[in-house]
Structures are given as structure tokens and as C-alpha cells.
Amino acid sequence: AGLLTAAAVWISLTIAYRSRPIYAPSSPEQANLDRYRAALDPVRKLVFIGVPVALGLFSGAAAMAQWETVLLWLNRQPFGIEDEQFNMDVGFFVFTLPFLNILVSFATLVLGLSLLAGLLTHYIYGGIQLQSPGERTTKAARIHIVVLAAAILAVRAVSYWLERFSLTTTQHSLITGLTYTDVNAVLPTRGVLAIAAALVAVFFISTIWTKTWRLPIIGIVGLVVVALLVGGAYPALIQSLRVRPSEAQLEAPYIQRNIDATLQAYDLGEAEFIPYNA
């Protein structure tokens, strides 16, 4: 994990530096950046090695804590029992899903650090100009940034999709697992958010040819609005207006699922229950 993080950040820094404009654009903003470039150039090679190494050590240390999850996935076994909602083997939720969540988190971290490194380098060396009256990015900087941003959004789409399966192990006040609100509100909204994030990733890629940031910005704003309204407000409304007035009736099937799963987990499914009249 440390090596992958360091390599990704170093590649992003190198691409941004090598694709810099030969002559920094003439503007007050770039004049102010001249002293930063002058101070950075003598130690640039050291910075371009030291920063990736430091970030790689940080990422590697974080990944080391996940050794048990990785080891469980490498030695995964099927349970021979399917869950009630997705009809998938329970082993997927115990062994594979936690490992996939680690991969998604790691990919988000690496891509985010690479994007940040690229943005800073492009800005310092004139590839990005925040106050330019014309085009604010060079073609190389635009392609570099949109590819990384699109990759982050694609990973986010995968994350939203995996969150659907993670609902099977969500802790609630009464039970662990899917509730009425999860099945009828949260589950479909996570699918909608996954599709929305994938579309915004396509919007970012389209910037390579359209040369305008309008569509990606609209997409990001739309994704945030959808996440707030569809991902947060809608399930809350279903819970308060639909579930609470009839909670005992609506949650009964999901409570029974939890009871059946618990009995199965403790190998008590074949136990005989005898009423005892005290």
C-alpha cells in the first residue's frame, strides 16, 4: 500500500511538472508565484521524492492495521447459506465485502492524494491559473486533473453500490441488519447515487473535448443535492412518516429475519421450543 501510494503521487507530480508551460503565463498571479518557483526549484527533486515517501509511509501504516481483514479474505470460505435480501452467500458479507470496502477506501485515498499533488504542481508552474481572463488550464493540466477526478467519482460510484450490501450488517437500536426503511428507501437511493456518481465521472471526462468546466461543476452540485435529498432526507421522511406510526407491523418481517439469522448462526435452527406454563 505504501509503495502504491508513493508511486501514484510521484507519477502525478512528475506528469504535472513535465507538462508545465515552457514559459509561465504573464499575469499578476504568476508574478506572485515566481518566488515560490524560485524557492522550490533548488530542492524540487528532494521534494518530489520526500513527499511521496512520507505519504506512502502514512498510507502503509494505515493499511497495516487491516491485515486481519485481508487474511480473512485470502482464506474465505462459503457458508452455504444465503441472506434473505440479496440471495448471496453469507460468506460474501463476512469475508469479501469488508475487503472490498478497504480497497475502495484505499483507492479513494491514493487518487485524492494524487489529485491534490497534481493540482498544486500545475498551479505553481502555471498549468492552472485561477485569475486568468482566458483559459484557466492548459490542455495537459486539464486532461491530468479530469482523469483523476473522474477516477475518484468512479470509485465513489462503486462505494455507493457496495453500501447497499453493507446495510446487511448495519447496527440499529433494535436489530442488526436491514430494516423497513433500509429496504424501501436507503437501498434504492444508494443505487441512484451510484449511477449519478458514474454520470458525473463521464461529465469530467467530456471536459477533455468540450474544454469547459461547466458540465462537471453542474454535475458535482447535482450529486451533492441528490445525496442530501435522496440519500438523507428521503429515508428520514420514510422513517418518521411511514414507519414510526406502524413500526411494530412494518418491522416485524425484518425482526423475524434477524431472529432466524441469529438462531442459524448459533446452530439453534433445529432446537425444539416447548412452552412452559410457570
pTM: 0.88
Classify 171 as helix, strand or coil.
strand
How many Å apart are CA 178 and CA 255, to the nearest integer? Answer: 9
Question: Can you give the pLDDT at residue 29?
Answer: 61
Distances (CA, A) of 204 to 14, 135, 217: 22, 17, 9
pLDDT tens digits for range 14-53 = 999 988 887 666 666 666 777 777 777 888 889 999 999 9
pLDDT at 24: 62
Reduce the DSSP state of residue 89 to 3 states and report it: strand
Q: What are phi and psi of 240, to 5 degrees?
A: -80, -40
Residue 207: which residues within 8 A CB-CB, separation 6 or more?
142, 146, 213, 215, 216
- CB 262: neighbour CB atoms within 10 A? 14
- Report pLDDT for 114: 96
Contacts of 6 (CB under 8 A, 6+ apart): 52, 53, 55, 56, 59
Could you identify the residue written with the cell 442530501? 228
String of b and e for 129-160 (b: at least 16 CB within 10 Å)? beeeeeeebbebbbbbbbbbbbbbbbbbbbbb
In the predicted model, residues of the chain with pLDDT beneath 50 are none
**Does residue 126 come out as left (phi exceeding 0), alpha (psi in the -120 to 50 range) or beta?**
left
| Rounded Cα gap, residues 154 and 194, in angstroms | 9
pLDDT at 50: 94
